[in-house]
Structure 1
């Protein structure tokens, strides 16, 4: 019985065959490209249509008004989010987020409600008196109207595309909210939210953030795409698993001390970075770099090869 000798076995026990690696590489690339195009055409990924503002306003008009009112009175998801959008505290996770500060300023009251209504007033002049009355009222008066309308909205009923709100002391707010609902259902609100003085508009931040919170979370929950549902490794409608290679990433979020922490994203990112560094530096970390030899997994995989080669006689004269 002999031991494996790399220089002898690799050099003398294999027959060399000339090969054109460039041709193999190009041929393989071409075959894979053709297969990818053909198979993607036959078995395309079952992606659902994007959740759009006009779709949500039409199918969930009452919830749409709740989102708009939250932006107006400062209780909405983005209105109290915090850096990098504003100075709120609702989603502040750690000191790094606070240190970065407000680098993408968003003012939901003005950007999501008052400005779009001002644009809509050019098409619907009945909104102009209501907007003027609201903006010229004191902050205390505005807060009273907002609180009264929020209470009335809980008892509102939906009739087709309309939301019928009980009579109450909320001044011009019903006119404004009905106007924002019509704007949302018309499909024009996306343009109003992303309106820019620039010639070309590439920033769709506001239209994306408008549905942040309950609308997107409810949609994701129905498709089992939330974080606590291991959503990152699910497909939207397919009966087969999604990106399995993200299992490690989403598994970190399932750890209780991370999932229940206020700084879940920061802890998950930090943990993932530590794991990445350990794997990258494994060959130089004492103890870890000896695990492959100590575990002997390679011997299990190559057991037939070792059994065959170690039983054969070795001609040491060929190694000189």
Structure 2
């Protein structure tokens, strides 16, 4: 005859929840406890946020650039006109600049993508925006009628003169053969300072356009944006990553991308971008295959970190 009690009968015989409490009893003010908890936690949140939170800096715009660093703005606009900026020589997907692509061994992945977002920096960033003004500068006609060689000579001369001027100030540039370039860049500076250039570049002639690509490319070609990053300790060698809109937290997961840019062979490679992206793809693919890789999938059992975390459960097993 089996005398072993069933699990159901054991639960009925050992009903702890139904036993009367025979220990000490004292009053407990739940409302008081809740109030203290909310106040203490609230003060901690406010205090720690004030000390350790990331800055809520205003957004960087072309207007702030033209107002804060007008010399850099004019120098960058001149480079855009002359086709010597980083964007002008980037290659696909913006243009077909020879030998500008990054390669993975003998595979030219960047060229394979093609020029999908064509950007003619002179027209996209300077000429076309100036045409939207109620009174476009007369210098536009001179620029448009000039030959490519004349345009190149004017911008090269003006870039050299700006670099030689005190603090790069256009107002102190020596006289020279610059054609309409000073007038064009000066008009663009005024347009940006009034806040009109931001809307023109972002809108692209379409309502409700949220494509910031032209604005970001233009900003990235100057040194103003880079200097802001350095001031905020956000350049790669400072191990900083922040991407905020209002009070949105930064993307901390980008630390691994940033890490590879600081070590060899990525650090000094002209193909750093494509190499880092490839490594991240391989690592991501390997992560998805962990449950299927013999040996690797057994590591959690061989490294019993879970036993330390759930030590109360494993103590008597």
Question: Could you say if the C-alpha distance between residues 299 and 105 of structure 1 is closer, same or farther in structure 2, counting changes exceeding 3 Å?
Answer: same
Asked if residue 68 in structure 1 is aligned to residue 77 in structure 2, the reply is yes
Asked if residue 132 in structure 1 is aligned to residue 141 in structure 2, the reply is yes
Q: Given that residues 81 and 90 in structure 1 are in contact (C-alpha distance below 8 angstroms), is that contact kept between their aligned partners in structure 2? A: no
Q: Secondary structure at the match of 1:170?
A: coil
Superposed CA RMSD: 3.6
Question: By how many angstroms is 1:204 displaced?
Answer: 3.5
Return 5+ residue gaps in structure 2 as ranges.
Answer: 1-6, 18-40
Corresponding residue number in structure 1 for 2:274: 266
Give the TM-score normalised by the residue count of structure 1.
0.71
Could you give the per-residue CA deviations for residues 249-279 of structure 1, whole angstroms, max 9, x where no partner exists? 4323333212222222222222222223333
Q: Secondary structure at the match of 1:211?
A: helix
Q: Secondary structure at the match of 1:256?
A: coil
Q: Given that residues 233 and 247 in structure 1 are in contact (C-alpha distance below 8 angstroms), is that contact kept between their aligned partners in structure 2? A: no
Q: Secondary structure at the match of 1:163?
A: helix
Aligned residue runs from structure 1 range 49-64, under 5 A:
49-64=58-73
Question: By how many angstroms is 1:157 displaced?
Answer: 4.3
Return 5+ residue gaps in structure 1 as ranges.
Answer: 1-7, 18-34, 311-320
User: Equivalents in 1 of 2:83, 2:110: separation in Å?
Assistant: 20
Asked if residue 112 in structure 1 is aligned to residue 121 in structure 2, the reply is no
User: Equivalents in 2 of 1:199, 1:302: separation in Å?
Assistant: 57
Question: Could you say if the C-alpha distance between residues 207 and 244 of structure 1 is closer, same or farther in structure 2, counting changes exceeding 3 Å?
Answer: closer
Question: By how many angstroms is 1:78 displaced?
Answer: 1.1
Question: Could you say if the C-alpha distance between residues 297 and 171 of structure 1 is closer, same or farther in structure 2, counting changes exceeding 3 Å?
Answer: closer
User: Equivalents in 2 of 1:268, 1:133: separation in Å?
Assistant: 45
Question: Could you say if the C-alpha distance between residues 188 and 235 of structure 1 is closer, same or farther in structure 2, counting changes exceeding 3 Å?
Answer: closer
Corresponding residue number in structure 1 for 2:192: 184
Corresponding residue number in structure 1 for 2:57: 48
Aligned residue runs from structure 1 range 296-311, under 5 A:
296-302=304-310, 305-307=313-315, 309-310=316-317
Q: Given that residues 79 and 155 in structure 2 are in contact (C-alpha distance below 8 angstroms), is that contact kept between their aligned partners in structure 1? A: no
Aligned residue runs from structure 1 range 153-168, under 5 A:
153-157=162-166, 163-168=171-176
Could you give the per-residue CA deviations for residues 172-212 of structure 1, whole angstroms, max 9, x where no partner exists? 22222221221121211123324544455443432232111
Corresponding residue number in structure 2 for 1:206: 214
Q: Secondary structure at the match of 1:232?
A: coil
Question: By how many angstroms is 1:242 displaced?
Answer: 6.0
- How many residues of Structure 1 are paired with residues of Structure 2 in the alignment? 270
Asked if residue 174 in structure 1 is aligned to residue 182 in structure 2, the reply is yes
User: Equivalents in 1 of 2:203, 2:177: separation in Å?
Assistant: 33
